[in-house]
Amino acid sequence: MNKIFGHLYKEVIKPGLCTGCGACIASCQFNALNLASCEPKLVGKCEDCNLCYYECPQTGDSAKLVEYVSGQASPDPDIGVYGKAFSVKTKDPKIRKKCQDGGAVTSMLTWLLKKDFIDGAVVTGFEGESWKPKPKVALTPDEITQCAGTKYTPSPILLGLRDAVDLYLKKRVAIVGTPCQINAVRRMQFGDRAFHHLADSVKLVIGLFCMESFYYEKLKNFVKRKLKIPIENVSKFDIKKGNFVVYSKQGSKREVDVKALKNCVNTSCSVCLDFACELADISVGAVGSPLGRSTVLVRTKVGAEAFKVARNNPKLGVKSLNSVKPGIGLVKRLSRRKKNSAKKLLKRWGKYGKPIPHWMKEKSES
């Protein structure tokens, strides 16, 4: 059956399962799609090419892509294929000032760019002081550093990949994203309708641990209404020990239980089965490492090559994850929690007749 934008709208967008990754828009060669209120909209004639549907991370089971990415089926049901695990910390004061935890992603990318392993990086920055995330094509170490830090609302990162290829003519790009975003990248590379025009320029895929993200407008209103801090006055967001933490530019700090933001969570996150970004070449997150360090899981041959180069950075401190606490066990526990929670919700949705993709129904029953 020929799956087009109408099917994507019915199966993914209308039920609230769109992740806002931008893959459908980036893969439309007829410029028939645009982003409006974080969702794709049809603004031109659909030419029935299928690409928008098949590049979407919500239209197929990501587990089927694992063997293409890593060369083997996943031996670990909790966090997927990985070879070695590290705990890292940047020693660069410039990066330390901007980064969220250990500065692993920023340190790796800046060094890989300096050593010509990559010729650009697709990362997420912000639009002015609004804290609204925006995909950026970083071409210098300084541009990479400027985009350091965790973003808690989604960005159409695949539009950044399109810009890197079509506007900047890059051929060895690193792309950084959350599990759903990286899923879309892998669909472009290895899916039923691969989109090689963009995918062939991806050299390295760095994935971020992710439990959930928030709708931008809802988070903005929550911070202003509940925490009494206008979004333009925020200097940093963080999540630590179950609390959502907001720092103001004046130096004050407000905390609230992260559960208080339940109504701000993206619907698509509630049924996501991937915490540790299992399709990445290298996965990175704070969980598993001590405060101020980042956990790094090296998953693929390309990931191992990249990390071998990156760890030669004299300003990057690297330890085995086995040598620190809490270690890999906590990563696995949180991953299991996310998978189990998503499966329970999918079963509930199925029971009450909420439309969900067929592959999600199968997952909820496994």
Residue 193: DSSP 8-state: T
Question: For every one of its 366 residues, what pLDDT tens digit does the chain have, with 9 covering 90 and above?
Answer: 789 999 999 999 999 999 999 999 999 999 999 998 889 999 999 999 999 999 999 999 888 899 899 888 777 899 999 999 999 999 999 999 989 899 999 999 999 999 999 999 999 999 877 899 999 999 999 999 999 988 999 999 999 999 999 999 999 999 999 999 999 999 999 999 999 999 999 999 999 999 999 999 999 999 999 999 999 999 889 988 889 999 999 999 999 999 999 999 999 999 999 999 999 999 999 999 999 999 999 999 999 999 999 999 999 999 999 999 999 999 999 999 999 999 999 999 988 888 787 788 777 676
The DSSP secondary structure of 271-320, one letter per residue, reads T---SS-TTSSEEEESTTS-TT-EEEEE-SHHHHHHHHHHTT-TTEEEEE
Q: Whole-model pTM?
A: 0.96
pLDDT computed for residue 366 by the predictor: 67
- Asked if 56 and 184 touch (Cβ cutoff 8 Å), the reply is yes
Residue 72, judged by CB atoms within 10 A of its CB (0-12, 13-18, 19+), counts as exposed
At 132 the three-state DSSP class reads coil
**CA dist., res. 364 & res. 90, Å (int):** 40
**CA dist., res. 64 & res. 275, Å (int):** 17
Both tokens assigned to 97: 């000032």
Do strands 234-240 and 202-208 pair parallel, antiparallel, or not at all (unpaired)? unpaired
**CA dist., res. 200 & res. 188, Å (int):** 9
Tens-digit pLDDT profile for residues 151-160: 999 999 999 9
Residue 326: DSSP 8-state: S
pLDDT computed for residue 100 by the predictor: 84
With tokens 């996943």, the residue in question is 74
Do strands 133-138 and 120-126 pair parallel, antiparallel, or not at all (unpaired)? antiparallel
**CA dist., res. 113 & res. 119, Å (int):** 6
Domains of the chain: 69-211+269-338 (3.40.640), 216-264 (3.10.450.750)
